[in-house]
Amino acid sequence: MHVMTGKDAVGGGLRERKKRATRAALAEAAVRLAAEHGADQVTVEAISAAAGVSVRTFFNYFDSRDDAFVVVDSDASERVRQAFLAAPPGLPPLEALREALAAELREAERQHELWSLHARVLRSAPHLLVRNLGAQMADESGLAEAIARRIRAGDGSVPSESDADRATPGLYPRLLAAVAGTAVRVSVQHWCERADEVSYADVFREVFDLLAAGLPAPAR
Amino acid sequence: MHVMTGKDAVGGGLRERKKRATRAALAEAAVRLAAEHGADQVTVEAISAAAGVSVRTFFNYFDSRDDAFVVVDSDASERVRQAFLAAPPGLPPLEALREALAAELREAERQHELWSLHARVLRSAPHLLVRNLGAQMADESGLAEAIARRIRAGDGSVPSESDADRATPGLYPRLLAAVAGTAVRVSVQHWCERADEVSYADVFREVFDLLAAGLPAPAR
DNA sequence: ATGCAAAAATGCACGACATGCAAAATTACG
DNA sequence: CGTAATTTTGCATGTCGTGCATTTTTGCAT
């Protein structure tokens, strides 16, 4: 029931602002405590206390304890969808998606600090990493819908929502959305382990080149 | 003292047999109860009672309640790796992987009855579907290693383990392994929703055709 | 500012999940 | 048959998550 609709635009009322502040405080407390004492040693009570609210209030904001650790930047996926739909009409879907993701990832590289903290927590808690995949899958559905919309309006026409898009997307949109998510995950993972050797932009480009080429056997 | 280390070997002592029987009984009871009353309405107590053991014993076999619903056929991933490595040398990696997965999925289709039951449970419980993804991700690492090994021995030589393979796989093996897992997931997901319209084999083939073609914009 | 209605926070009770520990039951083996 | 190893079980404990009624805070009109 805490869907936090698209009204993330700067809050007008005091209520909205306070709600987001509380939510942010809970999430930040959760991550900081997890980074210090280990994720599974952090109780809801500790998180709530650190955020200055009651335990019951915690569950008013998060459906489960683990949800406080996962990053749900709902704006990011929306930006990617918009950038994808706004790409030049002639561009193939995979290329349009590559550009949209690249732009968003460049943007995300600015908050490198908080991102790194989350990464450390998730690395030591595979259980939470699975949760993140769940969030990623939720985005997948929306992205698949956007892909279906763009394909439907393959010509230069303006892609707008229609009832047909709301229905279950076809196989191709789903596959492309899922593969794109996988590509991001793998590239980030690979780059994190060899950050000194290569730039992320290069890894990202190589991954999408491989996908566009049909994953051919690499030259030896 | 016979070899008999793997617990998947048939027979053995009465103890081993009873343990596997209990585990199977718990898993089956969990799925059947979930299919009837809904996954989140099935308590550990009910599962244990249906299997004829105590609640405590349930947790001796499964780390969590949800684990009773996920399929953890650990032998399956090993079979896929072996089939992949045993594929004709000339075959491109993606094709070899396609064949290996197809063979395993055909094998799994024999227990179509139980599998279909699982599918229904997972469809109504996205939470459990994520659990299955977690198991899939665990396999990803081992599969990436096998891919690296096969590529290293690109000629007809016998692919055997080496120290180099134990190291972190390169970008390509990881990507291929991850994309393959994603392909399986998407195809299963898509098929589950339209089981009446198309056969799974067709969906599976189409997905890999799309991947091999570089995910081109579909004809309209 | 003041009173009122809507929304949020809180306390409390309750059931389910999950783990550790020790006793009892079952199995393996000489 | 007797002993050791393994498994099962009950019990205690702590945490998770939810429903409900109550209190507090906020928005708004007067």
Residues A8-21 have a mean pLDDT of 75
Residue A212 confidence (pLDDT) above 50: yes
Q: Cβ of residue B152 near strand D, that is under 7 Å?
A: no
Question: What architecture (CATH level 2) is domain A14-68?
Answer: Orthogonal Bundle (1.10)
A interface with B, Cβ–Cβ below 8 Å: 92-94, 126, 130-131, 133-134, 137, 151, 154, 168, 171-172, 174-176, 178-179, 181-183, 185-187, 189-190, 193, 203, 206-207, 210-218, 220
Q: Cβ of residue A14 near strand D, that is under 7 Å?
A: yes
Contacts of A209 (CB under 8 A, 6+ apart): none
Residues A21-27 have a mean pLDDT of 95
The rounded mean pLDDT for chain B is 86
CA of A15 to C1' of D29 (A): 18
Q: What residues of chain A lie within 8 A of the CB of B186, using their CB? A: 171, 174-175, 178
Instruction: Give tens-digit pLDDT for A116-133.
Output: 788 788 888 888 887 887
Long-range CB pairs of B131-138 (<8 Å, 24+ gap) are B131/A130, B131/B66, B131/B67, B131/B69, B131/B70, B132/B70, B132/B71, B133/A130, B133/A133, B133/A134, B133/A137, B133/B185, B134/A126, B134/A130, B134/A133, B135/B70, B135/B71, B135/B72, B136/B181, B136/B184, B136/B185, B137/A130, B137/A133, B137/B181
| pLDDT for position B163 | 59
Q: Cβ of residue A54 near strand D, that is under 7 Å?
A: no
* Domain covering B14-66, topology: Arc Repressor Mutant, subunit A (1.10.10)
The 3-state secondary structure of chain B, one letter per residue: CCCCCCCCCCCCCHHHHHHHHHHHHHHHHHHHHHHHHCHHHCCHHHHHHHHCCCHHHHHHHCCCHHHHCCCCCHHHHHHHHHHHHCCCCCCCHHHHHHHHHHHHHHHHHHHHHHHHHHHHHHHCCHHHHHHHHHHHHHHHHHHHHHHHHHHHCCCCCCCCCCHHHHCCCCHHHHHHHHHHHHHHHHHHHHHHHCCCCCCHHHHHHHHHHHHHCCCCCCCC
| pLDDT for position A112 | 76
Decide which of B211 and A152 is more confident. B211
Instruction: Give tens-digit pLDDT for B73-123.
Output: 777 888 999 999 999 999 999 999 999 999 998 887 777 777 788 888 988
The span from the CA of B141 to the CA of B96, in Å, is: 17
Q: Where are the domains of chain A?
A: 14-68, 74-212
Q: What single DSSP character describes residue A216?
A: P
B interface with A, Cβ–Cβ below 8 Å: 92-94, 126-127, 130-131, 133-134, 137, 151, 154, 168, 171-172, 174-176, 178-179, 181-183, 185-187, 189-190, 193, 203, 206-207, 210-218, 220
Question: What architecture (CATH level 2) is domain A74-212?
Answer: Orthogonal Bundle (1.10)
Decide which of A188 and B62 is more confident. B62
Q: Cβ of residue A79 near strand D, that is under 7 Å?
A: no
- On whether the CB atoms of residues B121 and B69 are closer than 8 A, the answer is yes
Decide which of B40 and A156 is more confident. B40
Is the full-model pTM beyond 0.75?
yes
Decide which of B18 and A193 is more confident. B18
Q: Cβ of residue A15 near strand C, that is under 7 Å?
A: yes
Q: What residues of chain A lie within 8 A of the CB of B176, using their CB? A: 215
- Which nucleotide is nearest, taking the CA of residue B12 and each C1'? C28
Residue A177 confidence (pLDDT) above 90: yes
The distance of Cα B14 from the centroid of its chain, to the nearest Å, equals 28
Tell if the CB–CB gap between A94 and B193 is shorter than 8 Å: no
Instruction: Give tens-digit pLDDT for A66-89.
Output: 999 987 777 788 899 999 999 999
Q: What residues of chain A lie within 8 A of the CB of B94, using their CB? A: 214-216
Residue A34 confidence (pLDDT) above 80: yes
Tell me what percent of the residues of chain A surpass a pLDDT of 90. Answer: 53
Q: What single DSSP character describes residue A155?
A: S
* Report for A165-179, B75-89, B162-176: range of highest mean pLDDT: B75-89
Alpha-carbon separation of residue B72 from A204, B9, B23, B66, B68 (angstroms): 32, 16, 12, 12, 9
Residue A8 confidence (pLDDT) above 60: no
Residue B8 confidence (pLDDT) above 60: no
Between vectors from CA A186 to CA A185 and to CA A188, what angle results, nearest 5°?
A: 65
Q: Cβ of residue A54 near strand C, that is under 7 Å?
A: yes
- Which nucleotide is nearest, taking the CA of residue A55 and each C1'? C10
The DSSP code sequence of A5-68 is -STTSS--SHHHHHHHHHHHHHHHHHHHHHHHH-GGG--HHHHHHHHTS-HHHHHHH-SSGGGG
Instruction: Give tens-digit pLDDT for B30-63.
Output: 999 999 999 999 999 999 999 999 999 999 999 9
Residues B119-141 have a mean pLDDT of 82
The span from the CA of B217 to the CA of B203, in Å, is: 17
Only one residue has tokens 């053991």, namely B53
Tell me what percent of the residues of chain B surpass a pLDDT of 70. Answer: 87
